[in-house]
Amino acid sequence: GTLAEHQRRVTRCRACPRLVAWREQVARERRAAYRDEVYWGRPVPGFGDPAARVLLAGLAPAAHGANRTGRIFTGDRSGDFLFAALHRTGFANQPTSVALDDGLALEDCWITAIVRCAPPANKPTPTERDTCLPWTVAELDLLPRVRTIVCLGGFGWDGTLRLLAARGIPTPRPRPRFGHGVVADVGPYRLLGCFHPSQQNTFTGRLTPAMLDAVLVRARELADG
Ligand code: DU
Ligand code: SF4
């Protein structure tokens, strides 16, 4: 299969009953600001450059962000913060991401989420995480140039270790612990920890634009070897 096929197939998944119900309920009820929009309301595929050397692993689509627009991180505050940084550091052709047809393209970077359906309270269950993992295992097989994985938040870090373990790459002992700026070698991959660009972190200054830029620049340096 190809990446495009993977992206199409994942959007038809209905494996998690609770998440299927939630993503569709949010899409039916909508938020007042988006009352007249047609929500995506389905699993959100990965997005970016098929030749990417840098993979960004997020948590899950936001209910009124990617679950509305259909593209990961597109249409919410986390995405505004992330794509602005990707643009400043040369991974994105534009600083904004508002809709599927907005012209955004990434270079040397692919963005995915450990869980592909919007979860209630942004919190998937362990079962939902494990059920979705094979999608990302297959996706990584289709991204042969990826060397560096930027893990957004502890969930992205933990999910990435599980993802690599599922691909036959054992988690080092002791288990590398998530932290902002932490680098860990896991088989042929380099993991790079980064606080998640959620409002809890960006509004409080826990993650600043300069901090995110520095992680992305480091990710490229690590990919360069
Ligand atoms: O039409 P396409 O070239 O297969 O691209 C599909 C989709 O992927 C498009 O919305 C842009 C994005 N993309 C990208 O971000 N970076 C690339 O190098 C190639 C495609
Ligand atoms: Fe399928 Fe993943 Fe969505 Fe569960 S979270 S329904 S496994 S796409």
Identity at 18, one-letter amino acid code: R
ipTM of the complex: 0.93
115 lines ligand 2 (CB under 6 A): yes
For the record, the structure tokens of 167 come out as 């691909």
Q: Starting from the CA of residue 119, give the closest ligand.
A: 2
User: Domains, the chain, ranges and CATH?
Assistant: 3-224 (3.40.470.10)
Tens digits of per-residue pLDDT, 16-53? 999 999 999 999 999 999 999 999 999 999 999 999 99
Query: SS3 of 170, please?
Result: coil
With beta carbons less than 8 A apart as the criterion, state whether 148 and 189 touch.
yes
Tens digits of per-residue pLDDT, 49-84? 999 999 999 999 999 999 999 999 999 999 999 999
What is the residue with the minimal CA distance to atom 7 of ligand 2? 132
CA distance 114 to 151: 10
